[in-house]
A and B are shown apart, each in its own frame.
Chain A
């Protein structure tokens, strides 16, 4: 169905897909080529990616049972309004505990030997410049001016190898695996934008409260930068206009969560024996390459197509819900 055949008022609730709600006013942002995207548009597509990932994992589940390979890796696409809550409203210890328990954060693997922990995974966060702790802008409706993507890879590096080498030194053993168990990658369609500050703040809070076990060990072992996770700036296709950053975030999330790239994110991390310092350059290069390939030479066209794709998905869901 062509996208221009519908008529929705701005206040019409078009779909309610899982917990993503799209109103007429949100759809308009996707359809008008030069509009900025809001968190609802981003959350909707994140939910879609989450569903696709779930389906893929279910298919793989069958294969896995036959081959008895390692456990599944989980992806978490975070709702931007939830991230904003996490950064600005979730402050007391009870709130933080509830939040961490309610959210399906990937479990870091191998912390307690082979049996313990989860299979690792990837957290996708759409970063808004108003998510910095120092920001006051978030208190104003329609706040923020720039989106970028923060990827947190949980459980990269090879814990088992380190374990074998240091069987008798528990402390030491833990330190190595912890440093390698989380890494933070920032994809920004405007190089050197201020979003790195928000990305740093988010990374810091997640490290401190969600992966606090890892952090405590880190604190004990090297007090120099225990509460400062290293966020790596990844070479990212650049936007050539003043309105497509949100679409770039969604495009990057789509490409990075697609099956081929997933493989390089999670499988390689198991085999990466010789590098305990998070992501090695080879893996980073392959990520950058697949991103570059996925976006192509003309990022403007790529964004146009992605906007169309997302609008069509919304209309498709809305027509299937009403019929």
Chain B
């Protein structure tokens, strides 16, 4: 964040909405426009609703690391058009 400061033309950059892309297991992408201060839980819940699945069956990753739902794009240093991955529940017993 602080790297971008000093540019006189971008005073509003701090909380300008960004678009993030959620990629699912089939490669399909869903776009969300959110503020950098919005908690990721909002994205996750909306995504689950849209897909018609329980939140408990989805896991969200950024570069292969779990994203805690209390984090914000700012915490995660997400930029416009960045992509996160959505993984599905796995199971086994046999």
Contact = CB atoms under 8 A, between A and B. Distances in A.
B66 interface: yes
A102 B85 CA distance: 15
B4 interface: no
Question: On chain A, which size bracket covers the interface?
Answer: 35 or more
Given A39-B89, A102-B63, A88 B25 contact: yes
Interface in B53-94: 53-57, 59, 61, 63-70, 85, 87-94
B94 A242 contact: yes
A147 B25 CA distance: 20
Contacts of A143: 88-91
29 contacts: A10-B54, A16-B68, A16-B70, A19-B67, A25-B54, A26-B56, A36-B91, A36-B94, A37-B93, A38-B89, A80-B90, A81-B66, A82-B66, A95-B63, A102-B65, A103-B64, A130-B90, A138-B90, A139-B88, A140-B88, A141-B53, A141-B88, A142-B91, A143-B89, A143-B90, A144-B90, A144-B92, A145-B94, A243-B93
B63 A142 contact: no
A35 B89 CA distance: 15
Interface in A182-235: 190, 193
A158 interface: no
Nearest to A148: B92
Given A80-B90, A146-B93, A39 B59 contact: yes
B51 to A, nearest CB: 9
A295 to B, nearest CB: 17
B23 interface: yes
Question: On chain B, which size bracket covers the interface?
Answer: 20 to 34
A128 B87 CA distance: 14
CB-based closest 9 A-B pairs: A36-B93, A23-B56, A19-B66, A99-B64, A147-B92, A243-B93, A98-B63, A81-B59, A81-B87
A89 B61 CA distance: 11
A156 interface: no
Interface of B: 23, 25-26, 53-57, 59, 61, 63-70, 85, 87-94
Contacts, number: 124
Interface string A109-147: 000000000000000000011100000001111111111
Contacts of A24: 56
Given A26-B56, A79-B66, A89 B94 contact: no
A29 to B, nearest CB: 9
Contact of A36 (B26, B57, B92): B92
A248 to B, nearest CB: 10
A84 B54 CA distance: 19
B71 to A, nearest CB: 10
Contact of A82 (B57, B61, B88, B94): B61
A99 B90 contact: no
Contacts of B53: 141
Nearest to A139: B25
Nearest to A143: B90
A89 B85 contact: yes
Nearest to B24: A139
A261 interface: no
